[in-house]
Amino acid sequence: MNAQVDKVYEQVVARNRGEVEFHQAVREVLDSLTPALEGHPEYTENGLLERLVEPERQIVFRVPWVDDAGNVQVNRGFRIEFNSALGPYKGGLRFHPSVNIGIIKFLGFEQIFKNALTGQGIGGGKGGSDFDPHGKSDAEVMRFCQSFMTELSRHIGPNTDVPAGDIGVGGREIGYLFGQYKRLRNRYDAGVLTGKGLGFGGSLARTEATGYGTVLFAQSMLGTKGDSLEGKTVAVSGSGNVAIYAVEKLQALGGKAVTISDSSGYVVDEAGIDLDLLKQVKEVERGRVADYAARRPGARVATGGSVWQVPCDVALPCATQNELDGDAAATLVKNGCGVVAEGANMPSTPEAIEVFQKAGILYAPGKAANAGGVATSALEMEQNASRTRWDFETANAKLTDIMADIHDSCVETAERYGQPGNYVLGANVTGFTRVADVMIAHGII
């Protein structure tokens, strides 16, 4: 790190006390920017780093709602409008009991660079609430979403800020959120949210996009070594939207996913995950991975440790931040894993990343590997703005092209800076320069 980077990082820690995930995300980006700052005094002169780490706007609000028993419940809502240099703020909403401002800020910060990598003219933002949808009735989820949107609707719009899903926010929640926005604003602004149902402006391939994109990225990385996913054994964590469609794409490309997980444990299925059963249990029944194992001969449930103990060629962390630590990374490497592509946001700890990089394996950070979700959200916005609707093949082909482009940009940047194969540098420097150059053009704002 250079002195300026150190100073900015220290300021972030001092000004955002206790927000450890945000500190971690900033550190990871700043650490790899040193080569991009050298020879570019304009970035320093224009206070680029200082401005980038400070969100343009932070909205925190009360979300009161009434549960089925008639009790008043109060949650906290967040929307961090981080950076709008490249376009309207864009990024998901997370509903999970662990949500706090530091987590939303880390996600919003990552989103700036991820969205820049897509090349689609979208700024970075993120939001959510400490509401836990698990175990809630549909009616409770609806009332919560309506209360959440009652405040959020003042701050968003198709050209201002466009939320979507993330952990705990899928098609059901986006439907309730859209309904309430439409009612409050008396505007059918289809482009105000993405991840919508297909009947009201949703895009084909958005549901699949993040998981598909992550696997496409892993395939491209293997391609640089003349290899492919065909015949590879793959450890996948999570069992939500990203994990399910990662498994689907893996199978299409000849790979075999042998694990899934959730917060209660993990399942090993040596014969390969049964995708239809997984979708039935998780998407239709909203069940647990143990329910999958109970109905799948040969699959076993494990409660201690993690999926990273299961020998694999490729690892796809698709659950949540910091789910893969230094020890898990060492175990993966020891067992012969040669590729890690992050479907989740910041799933690998800094120690884990160091292990991967020292071992020289192919490692893709989430902001590159999981960008297919937000990229397809931007395709949804494009369809909404022009009142058109593409078929699955069209949307999927665009997603595939965008992922290839992100991969190649990371590779080229890493090579240009003398660190071939360093996807962390490739992603951070590419994203940063795209945003930084536009921020300079816009003046000090």
Which spans in 16-130 are helix H?
20-31, 34-37, 41-45, 48-52, 101-118
- Closest to ligand 2IT by CB, 52 vs 344, is 344
166 binds ligand NDP (CB under 6 A): yes
Q: What are phi and psi of 228, to 5 degrees?
A: -155, 175
Q: What angle do CA 34, 113, 324 make, to 5 degrees?
A: 85
- Closest to ligand NDP by CB, 206 vs 256, is 206
124 binds ligand NDP (CB under 6 A): no
428 touches which of ligand 2IT, ligand NDP, none (CB within 5 to 8 A by kind)? none
Stretch that binds ligand NDP, among 3-11, 145-153, 162-170, 430-438 (CB under 6 A): 162-170
Neighbours of 364 (CB within 10 A): 27
Residue 275, burial from CB neighbour count under 10 angstroms (0-12, 13-18, 19+):
middle
Amino acid at 327: D
Neighbours of 70 (CB within 10 A): 6
DSSP code of residue 310: S
Q: How far is the CB of 143 from ligand 2IT (least distance, A)?
A: 23
Q: Give, as ranges, the residues between 34 and 93 that touch ligand NDP (CB under 6 A).
A: none
126 belongs to the catalytic site: yes
Q: How far is the CB of 445 from ligand NDP (least distance, A)?
A: 28
Distance separating alpha carbons of residues 381 and 42, to the nearest angstrom: 33
384 touches which of ligand NDP, ligand 2IT, none (CB within 5 to 8 A by kind)? none
Instruction: Identify the residue among 104, 344, 424, 427 touching ligand NDP (CB under 6 A).
Output: 344
E-state strands within 3-95: 57-66, 72-83, 89-95
Q: Which of 105, 126, 232, 256 is catalytic?
A: 126
Q: Give, as ranges, the residues between 225 and 254 that touch ligand NDP (CB under 6 A).
A: 238-243
Tell me, residue by residue from 348 to 377, as one string, x for binding to ligand NDP by CB under 6 A and - for no binding: ----------------------x--x----
Q: How far is the CB of 118 from ligand NDP (least distance, A)?
A: 12
Shortest-Cβ-distance residue relative to ligand 2IT:
92
Q: What angle do CA 354, 355, 360 make, to 5 degrees?
A: 95
Q: How far is the CB of 243 from ligand NDP (least distance, A)?
A: 6
262 binds ligand NDP (CB under 6 A): yes
CA distance from start to end of the chain: 26
- Closest to ligand 2IT by CB, 206 vs 232, is 206
Instruction: Identify the residue among 210, 233, 259, 428 touching ligand NDP (CB under 6 A).
Output: 210
Instruction: Identify the residue among 263, 391, 412, 420 touching ligand NDP (CB under 6 A).
Output: 263
Distance separating alpha carbons of residues 348 and 326, to the nearest angstrom: 8
Neighbours of 180 (CB within 10 A): 19
- Closest to ligand NDP by CB, 8 vs 112, is 112
Beta strands 339-341; 314-316: pairing state = parallel
DSSP code of residue 203: P
Q: 300: which strand partners?
A: 268
**Site for ligand NDP, rule CB under 6 A:** 96, 98, 165-168, 210, 238-243, 262-264, 318-320, 343-345, 370, 373
Catalytic residues: 126
